[in-house]
Structure 1
Amino acid sequence: MIPATYQSVEGYQCLDDLFDPEINRKALQNALQQATKDNVEGPGRDVVQSAQPFGKMLLETLREIAGFCGQHDLHLICDEIFAMSVYDNPEVPDAVPFTSVLALNLDDNINPQKVHVAYGMGKDFCAAGFRLGVLHSRNEGLITAVSTISVLGWVPYIVQDIWANMLTDDGFRVDFMSKNRKLLTEHSAILTAFLQEHEIPYYSKVNAGVFAWVNLQRYLYDKSEVSATDLFRSNDKFYRDREMTLWNRLLASGVGLGLGSWYSAEEPGWFRVSFAVEKEALRIGLERLIKTLREVKAEGWK
């Protein structure tokens, strides 16, 4: 897999640009050019763009990515596992409703045989234990290959029946999604209020998913170091190590966050904070988080 990076793209300034069609085209083009330069060729080559940590996607951006894939004979694989895990965010009054790539007419952008969608019930149905996933594709060769492999890990029929009953029970499904949206809205508000109270930066323009993308960069450098951004870019490994140290410190204090590097964050210091837990657990976790961050800040980096 070849990651498409953004910070070196001309015109890129902030996280909002990750959803800009032109910025995406440039990032993908740069990645493909680098792959060609490195002699990475063949049907197994994938250029990867992921906005997964943010919980936001714009249809025009998706069309641009599809067009790029079609132009360069690449496959487009869309992960829609958070499709219905949406909530109300006052900072996104003009939120775009979820629309599956399967509902878009992309025939002028890309060969339909090269559009594939992955889904699962772990997120939207709050049932990670079922480990049940879906691949939708019109590519018969791909479906045959995947079906052959999946025989070795066949989903039990009782699990298939449970999910089939959930999907066909319109009353249950609508009620469940409505309750889920309400809870996500409430818990997201609890987390963002906490972050605002303690002046911890985070990406606010989202309305989907079960987490927030939080910036803890100021806890990676000493008070004597003035600007974090320039230092990170000039000494990435040094601060990646500090990021891991901070993550381990938080974990030892009973706080489990998602490390930014796990989600291809280009700058160290970004973490994914989940709010999809019981309110009491969320409250305790946030108390532990701020207590540990205060200790780290007071001690400084020696």
Structure 2
Amino acid sequence: MSAVRAGGVLIPAPFKSVEGYRGLDDVFDPDMNRKALEKTLLQATQDGVTVRAVLISNPHNPLGRCYPAETVREIARFCGRNNLHLISDEIFALSVYQNEQATNVTPFVSVLGAGLDECIDSHLVHVMYGMGKDFCATGLRLGVLHSTNEGLIAAVSSISVFGWVPYVVQDVWADMLEDEQFLGDFKLENRKVLAKHFTILRSFLDEHNIPYYSNVHAGVFVWVDLRRYLHANSAPEPATSAVDVNHDQEVKLFKRFLRAGVVVSQGSGFGTEELGWYRISFAVEEQALNVGIQRLGTCLKSIENDGWRIESCRSP
């Protein structure tokens, strides 16, 4: 959509090709981020692409983990040195919950509170937010852009009239945000429910010996490795990064899940560097979550029973 509206191009900053990369935890390491960004900027420059900004999702989507403050500052230093805008999408900022099995957990720190004054000029820092995720209200659409860049604000204001938020929606949100008692109770309850639903999904994954990124503690999803279901293996051994997976296989498995009555998002939609990873969301009613994982389990068992081939699968 960015290319259609503004002629912009999104360029992923890969980590696997960076020297010293060991695994997904390195996505949150300050030095690894600096190296990945420097390498990507150099390649883009050589390709004749002019880079204007760095965009991050914090908490990370799809890994479901918050960036440490020092990593945010290192990304900001990179932007400051290269006169690039830093755009932080913080739409899951309040959706942080407890996962007792996670290690090296860091609390959510917005770029607005990460102490960036010595890293980057403030007019280059922008935050995007929306009410749909943290407040479970995708129908009451309201987006927020925080920036001190007067030029950017003027440009956005000139086009925002085409997507104006209805006044009744603005009034509803104003009443909610001014109700401190409601906000406190809602955030507490939401974190409890997220932790409970994550535990339900984690138990299912552990029971079926399905690898997943375990240091998750934010967002409403889990990053799951389903590569072993894309090959005609004789035994359900977890695949390794050396296994070759193509896009057609990924799509076939996605469609098989659909026929089973469950949606599991393809990793390619999130810029994965290893096809075969999928994002499973648990932000649904508990009954719906249990039905969904039951259907998923039945479908995966069917794949195992038919010799690990991606064929048809019916929901129970």
TM bucket normalised to smaller? over 0.9
**Aligned match for 1:230, one of 242, 258, 262:** 242
Counterpart in the other structure of 2:115: 105
What is the one-letter code of the residue matched to 1:80?
E
Structure 1 match to 2:20: 11
Partners of 1:178 and 1:207 in 2: how far apart? Answer: 15
Partner residue of 1:255? 262
Contact 1:63 1:106 in 2 (8 A): yes
> Residues 93 and 26 of structure 1: is their aligned pair in 2 closer, same or farther, counting only changes over 3 Å?
closer
Match of 1:148 among 155, 158, 171: 158
Q: Which amino acid aligns with 1:151?
A: V
How far did residue 46 of structure 1 move?
3.7
- With the length of structure 1 as denominator, give the TM-score of the two structures: 0.93
In the alignment, structure 2 segments of 5+ residues that lack a partner are: 1-9, 311-316
1:117-156 equivalences under 5 Å are 117-156=127-166
Q: How does 1:52-201 map to 2 (within 5 A)?
A: 52-56=61-65, 57-92=67-102, 95-201=105-211
Q: Deviations over 1:77-123 (max 9, x none)?
A: 00111111111110236532222111222111111000000000001
Aligned residues: 295
Output the CA distance in 2 between the equivalents of 1:16 and 1:82.
19
Aligned-pair identity in percent equals 54
SS in structure 2 at match of 1:146: helix
CA contact under 8 A between 1:2 and 1:48: conserved in structure 2?
no
2:11 aligns with 2
The letter for the 1-side match of 2:177 is L
Q: Which runs of 4+ in 1 moved over 4 A?
A: 47-50, 224-228
Q: Give the Cα–Cα distance (whole angstroms) in 2 for the partners of residues 112 and 61 of structure 1.
A: 17
Compare the two structures and name the one with the higher helix fraction.
1
Counterpart Cα distance in 2 of 1:71 and 1:151: 35
Q: Is the 8 A contact 1:113 1:138 kept in 2?
A: yes
Deviation at 1:276, TM superposition (A): 1.1
Q: Paired residue for 2:300?
A: 293
User: Residue in 2 aligned with 1:25?
Assistant: 34
Structure 1: state its 5+ residue gaps. none
Name the aligned partner's letter for residue 225 of structure 2. Answer: N
Shift of residue 58, structure 1, vs aligned partner: 1.3
